[in-house]
Structure 1
Amino acid sequence: MYARGEAHGNNELNSWLKLVKEASNWNKHKMIEKGQVYVMFNQYDTLRKDLDEQINDRLEILVDDIIPTEKPYSECWRLYMRQRNALRKALKQSNAKKSKAILLNSVSCTHKQDSSVESKD
């Protein structure tokens, strides 16, 4: 169902997986509850995957496009490095923390004085 590393360190996902496993062992008299667990897990997991995709998309932009164009140790470079680190950490956090991390770490640097590595002709 999941790659081994996908749940590693994500306590929220681990809790859901534990509940799903427990529910799978419930008897036939708890079929409604089993169904409810299944539906709730799928809702949680769909959101988790969407948030992970948003985080990975932002990480790709930061690492491939933004950070390499910034002057090392400039204000903007430091901001984008902090964003990269926060987003990497967020991949193992709850959906609520992932949403907050995406919001906080998708802003552009406004301190653009001589931060670009490229020359301005």
Structure 2
Amino acid sequence: MMSRSLNLLLLAFLGLFAFITPAAAGPDFWTMWQHRNTCMQKDAQVLAAIMKFCSRNFYTGTPYAVDGASQGKVRINVSAYCKLGTFVPKEWCESQMLETCATGGKKGRNFRKYDNGCQGFWIGGS
């Protein structure tokens, strides 16, 4: 009797874990793929700048994040508004930059805030 209750409890935790893990594990790669295609159609230089900049992990407020990257006439960076030193994994950088481009204007230029408004992802240029 006790063993059966323990097994049911274990199954319930495993089921809950199955729903939580994908959301906590990382960005939605299907959405990223769609945003990448949209961004590529808008401006290939934006996509190149994103791939260059988001090729490594970084922290907000560091010279790497503030200076950003450029490709041709495109410039991108990440600003910190609430706190410096927030860790930005390269997968999340890429996901959020691609979303910023995909939801931007006809050339992908845009500014979006993430992490409850504490991080600003910017794509600019002529």
TM-score computed with the length of structure 2 as normaliser = 0.37
Give the structure with the larger helix fraction.
Answer: 1
Give the structure with the larger strand fraction.
Answer: 2
TM-score computed with the length of structure 1 as normaliser = 0.38
Q: Which has the larger radius of gyration?
A: 1
